[in-house]
Amino acid sequence: MSTNESFNRRKFLRGFGLVSGGTVGGFLLGRLPHGSFNRREKLDGSEIFKRCVDSVVIIHVHSTNSFGAGFCLDRIPFAGKDTSFLATADHVTGRQNLASYRLNTEAVTVTSHTAKTAPIGAAYSRDERVDMAAFSCDLDLKPLPIASEPPAIGENIFTLGHPLGDEFTLSSGIVSGYRYDDSPLMQITAPISPGSSGGPVLNQWGELVGLVSSYKPGAQNLNLVVPLSELLALRSRIHGLARTV
């Protein structure tokens, strides 16, 4: 392997947090995340659904009558109280429109599995490049446990979302590849449809490994996911945001 090939391979892996030096995602992947489940045995789909569904929400944008999924990425002190921060795909909240949706239930409502609703909160962070966003919310939600490493190609994964309005639907598939164009992406075969965007991708232990972003129209289960390293970077940013208030 030439020096340039070695460098390019290392750069590619670093984009996914698989090499620890030089990236926030890589640094955080080396740390034990909070709330991880006991990994002595893998969970079946019914147990993953039971453990994770109360961390997932419906995001309904009323002006366009569009909706997607989101999930509790963390709970951190913000503005004097312990606050849920939810992650979703940036396009679910209309990208730059997120700023105008804050604290306005006539614009957007966030609904939990227990049918409790709240508006998008005052604090938010966006990353249009990788199609992800996070915002504060007054819903009392438990963060999903975060995996300590990304899943391997061929490993089983699960998604939780609302495809075509079918709320809180669990789907399964495998990791079929990793891509790196303008941003790192994980490719999965679990079926997704409009309404799935922003939902969590979970490994065989019910741990967070990605966020549903998009699918390739006309293709068979070629679906793209924001990978773990980017979600860890987003989590780091919301911690920094909370410290400034």
% of residues, the chain, pLDDT over 70: 83
Give the integer Cα–Cα distance in Å for 159 and 199. Answer: 7
- Its pTM stands at 0.84
The answer to whether the beta carbons of residues 90 and 128 sit under 8 Å apart is yes
The answer to whether the beta carbons of residues 60 and 111 sit under 8 Å apart is yes
How confident is residue 80, by pLDDT bands cut at 50, 70 and 90? confident
Q: Which of 105, 122, 117, 120 is nearest to 63 (CA)?
A: 105
What average pLDDT is seen over the chain?
Answer: 86
User: Where do the domains of the chain lie, and which CATH numbers do they carry?
Assistant: 33-50+148-228 (2.40.10.10), 56-143+232-243 (2.40.10.10)
Q: What is the DSSP string of 158-181?
A: EEEE-GGG--SEEEEEEEEEEEES
How confident is residue 146, by pLDDT bands cut at 50, 70 and 90? very high
Per-residue model confidence as pLDDT tens digits over 172-226 = 999 999 998 788 999 999 999 999 999 999 999 999 999 999 987 776 788 999 9
Range of lowest pLDDT (25-34, 39-48, 72-81):
25-34
As a whole number, mean pLDDT of residues 91-108 equals 94
- Model pLDDT, residue 182: 83
CA-CA-CA-CA torsion sign (12, 184, 168, 50) = positive
pLDDT at 33 exceeding the cut of 70: no
